[in-house]
Amino acid sequence: MSRRPFIAAALALMAFLGCNTPETHVRRSSLMDYLYPKQKAAPMPDPAGARLKLPLKLGVAFVPGGSASWRVQNLMAPGQEKQLLDVVKRSFQDRPWISEIKLIPSAYLRAGGGFENMDQVARMYGVDVMALVSVDQVQNTDPRWYSFTYLSIVGAYVLPGDANDTNTLIDAAVYDVASHTFLLRAPGQSQVKGSSTWAYREKQLREHSAKGLELAMTDLAKNLDAEVGAFKAEVARGERKDVDVVDRQGVSLRQSGGRNFGGSTSWIEVLGALALLGFALRLRRA
Amino acid sequence: MDVLTLTAEALREPWRLWTGHLVHFGWEHALANAVALAVPWILVAPRDRRRLALGTLILPPLLSVLLLPSLGGGEYRGASGLACALWALVGLRLAVRNESALGLMMLAGLLVKLAAETVVGGGVLLRAGGWSTLPAAHLWGSGLGLAAALPVQACIRHFHPRRT
* pLDDT tens by residue, A78-87: 677 788 888 8
| Residue B126 three-state SS | strand
Q: What is the pLDDT of residues A97-134, one digit of tens each?
A: 788 888 888 888 888 888 889 999 999 999 999 999 88
> Which of these, A189, A216, A200, lies nearest to A141 by C-alpha position?
A200
- State residue A167's pLDDT score: 92
Closest residue, chain B, to A279 (C-alpha): B102
What is the Cα–Cα distance from B1 to A256, expressed in whole angstroms? Answer: 8
Smallest Cβ–Cβ distance between A256 and the set B32, B36, B73 belongs to: B73
Q: What is the dihedral of CA A93, A96, A97, A99, to 10 degrees?
A: 50
Q: What is the 3-state secondary structure (H, E, C) of A109-175?
A: CCCCCHHHHHHHHHHHHCCCEEEEEEEEEEEEEEECHHHHHHHHCHHHHHCCCEEEEEEEEEEEEEE
Q: CA torsion sign, A153 to A157 to A162 to A164?
A: positive
Phi-psi region of A114 (alpha: psi -120 to 50; beta: other; left: phi over 0): left
Q: Do A262 and B133 touch (CB under 8 A)?
A: yes
Closest residue, chain B, to A246 (C-alpha): B130
What is the Cα–Cα distance from A151 to A278, expressed in whole angstroms? Answer: 83
What is the Cα–Cα distance from A210 to A139, expressed in whole angstroms? Answer: 12
- State residue A74's pLDDT score: 56
Residue B164 is assigned to a structural domain of this protein? no
Which site among A232, A261, A270, A281 would you substitute to test the B interface, given the most B Cβ atoms closer than 10 Å to its Cβ?
Answer: A261
Residues of A in contact with B105 (CB under 8 A): 276, 279
Q: Do A247 and B82 touch (CB under 8 A)?
A: no
Range of the domain at B15: 8-159
Q: Do B32 and A279 touch (CB under 8 A)?
A: no
Residue B49 is assigned to a structural domain of this protein? yes
First to last CA, chain A: 119
Number of structural domains chain B divides into: 1
- pLDDT means per 10 residues in chain A (286 residues)? 73 58 82 78 71 84 70 62 79 74 86 88 92 88 76 75 87 90 90 83 84 88 82 75 74 62 77 85 76
Residue B116 is assigned to a structural domain of this protein? yes
Q: Report the gap between the CA of A92 and the closest CA in chain B (Å).
A: 13
